[in-house]
Amino acid sequence: MKIQRRNKANPEFSLAAMTDVILLMLIFFMITSSAANQSAIDVKLPKAGAIEDNIPNPLTVSIKPDGTYFVDDNPVTREQLESIIVSKLTGQTNKSFTIRADENTMHKDVVFVMEIAEKNKFNIAIATVKDK
């Protein structure tokens, strides 16, 4: 005599739940990656009391404490800096860039970059971190 079991395990695997999880992970990583600071140059930004969040500029000039300059994470010399900034902003509708200077950077190095912006009529933003 053959006895039938009432509760048979269903060997099928549903991919619907796994698809939902993967979609949620994709959305999470897309949002967090856009919010992350993309610059690889390690500078300690000065603190400021009131900060208004602005749209990030397409070009970033970083200045390290020893006076070395970086345009979009690529090292450049002081003599090349102006020509590289002008060439990268030629044809852009938003002719502006962000200055990321370390809090221990000499004032003369920051002023040099600001003079380039003034001479070429570029808008600048100075990156800071919010004071806690």
Q: How far apart are CA 73 and CA 84, in angstroms?
A: 13
Q: How far apart are CA 66 and CA 68, in angstroms?
A: 6
pLDDT at res. 26: 92
Is pLDDT of 55 > 60?
A: no
| Rg of the chain (C-alpha set) | 26
DSSP strand E in 15-68: where? 47-48, 60-63
Is pLDDT of 117 > 70?
A: yes
The distance in angstroms from the start CA to the end CA of the chain is 79
Structure pTM? 0.60
Is pLDDT of 46 > 70?
A: no
Residue extents of the structural domains in the chain: 59-129
Residue-wise pLDDT for 58-87, tens only, equals: 788 999 999 899 998 899 999 999 999 999
Mean pLDDT score of the chain, rounded to an integer?
A: 81
